[in-house]
Amino acid sequence: MASKKGKILVVDDNAGIRSALKILLPMYFEQVETIASPSTLVRMLERFQPDVVLLDMNFNTSINTGNEGLYWTGEVKKMAPDVEVVLFTAYADIALAVEGMKRGAFDFIVKPWDNDKLVETLTLARDKARRSHPERPQIQTEHSEGSMFWGNTPAMKLIRKTLDKIAPTDATVLITGENGTGKDVLAKEIHEHSLRKGKPMVAVDAGAITETLFESELFGHVKGAFTDAHTDHLGKFEQADGSTLFLDEIGNIPLHLQAKLLRAIQNRSIVRVGGNEAKPVDIRLICATNMDLERLVREGRFREDLYYRINTVHIALPALRNRREDIVPLAEIFLRKYAQKYHRNLEGLDSSAVSALESYGWSGNIRELQNCIEKAVILSEGSLLTVQDFQLCEHYSEHYSERTEALSRDVSPADEEKKVREAIERANGNISAAAKMLGVSRPTMYAKLKKYGL
């Protein structure tokens, strides 16, 4: 069999069909994703960047055109003209499928399908897509533990543009951001796109090294330098020779040790503890901190000369609450990861879960989101994660309870139900609009609707 190439996105509300294609298509194509509804199609086009969309023509809900396949064919071709659409249709819809081809679809496949015909058609569509846009980069669909999720916010796009410029250089980089924003992941990304990627990056949690071991850990020591120094020890600077040295939590280094670090960075050489020979080191330095170094400099707790030495290029990672459009795609990545890890048959997030995730503050950022999704996957019972599953996450539960109580405060249950009903009526059933009228979050609104059976 020839090497597998191409990315296929299957959109079909029939779970059996999705399961069958998830078995068949990976034998012929490099990457295959399936979704149950076109409601997430736009997000998948941006994230997955398929060559071909295999699109069912009819779903559970109706579209004003009379057929969802025609509508979404047009939408795909508007959003991504180089992506080919193959329509999945029943015998009765062949006339509509032909109309779909007039609107830009590549071809159609009739259900029940012939495997050889299906693979042949998708292969031809893939080849056409790649001829029309051969330079499109291949995007990794699974978010591994060490890979960067860029998303689509302006801030992250700017950071990615900056990375493309600085990665091939040896410029020293300072990464700042709250805990859990992915500073270590960005450091690894810079290294993996650098000319030093042939050697592993050496990472050090500078704040976790005790003062007595600081010099030994970073610069090494010679045999006999102190009581337990039974052999020579290679420090992190020498281990990173020819590669990248990542100093995490650099703001936690005590002031009196900063001078020694500055000297090694300036001279690009070290002297092992107990030794007297200066050893040159060829490193690319990346530092990270969640602290405000400029404030620490003003307060005399961080050396100004060290600050400028490590701050050739400064990248500030945004908090997750400031990139809300990335919350759900990240959650879906973690959901797939933990569903596979814990052998759970989960298809995604329902609308209540989406609203809950988007409205929460995520003070722990991506790390908190990942932890919350893992807990929800472990303890969930249905095929979709719901807002109730996230009540199992401690911090979300506290936030959720506070918001629910806010609507109930000084209001009797009867009056509260009346207010909720009135808001829903005035908003014509729009949950988000009704929540705004009442001054509560969407998760709170969903909880009230469930409470009163609305």
276-323 pLDDT, tens digit per residue, is 889 999 999 999 999 999 999 999 999 999 999 999 999 999 999 999
Residue 406 has pLDDT above 50, yes or no: no
Q: Could you tell me the CATH superfamily of domain 7-132?
A: Response regulator (3.40.50.2300)
Residue percentage of the chain with pLDDT more than 70: 84
Mean of pLDDT values over 236-243: 94
Domain boundaries, the chain: 7-132, 154-316, 324-451
Residue 439: predicted pLDDT: 66
Neighbour count for residue 339 (Cβ, 10 Å): 18
Where is pLDDT greater, at 75 or 228? Answer: 75
What is the average pLDDT value for the chain, to the nearest integer?
Answer: 83
What confidence tens digit (pLDDT) does each residue in 247-277 have?
A: 999 999 999 999 999 999 999 999 898 888 8
Domains 7-132 and 324-451 share a fold: no
CB of 190 closer than 8 Å to CB of 173: yes
Read off the pTM. 0.59
CB of 196 closer than 8 Å to CB of 243: yes
**Topology (CATH) of 154-316:** Rossmann fold (3.40.50)
What confidence tens digit (pLDDT) does each residue in 8-35 have?
A: 999 998 888 999 999 999 999 999 999 9
Residue 101: predicted pLDDT: 86
C-alpha 122 chain-centroid distance: 29
HSE of 134 in the Cβ direction (CA atoms, 13 Å)?
Answer: 2
What confidence tens digit (pLDDT) does each residue in 324-346 have?
A: 889 988 998 899 889 888 888 88
Lowest mean pLDDT among 102-116, 141-155, 298-312: 141-155
What's the CATH number for 324-451?
A: 1.10.8.60
Where is pLDDT greater, at 366 or 58? Answer: 366
Residue 188: predicted pLDDT: 94
Residue 141: predicted pLDDT: 36
Mean of pLDDT values over 76-92: 85
Residue 399: predicted pLDDT: 47
Residue percentage of the chain with pLDDT more than 90: 43
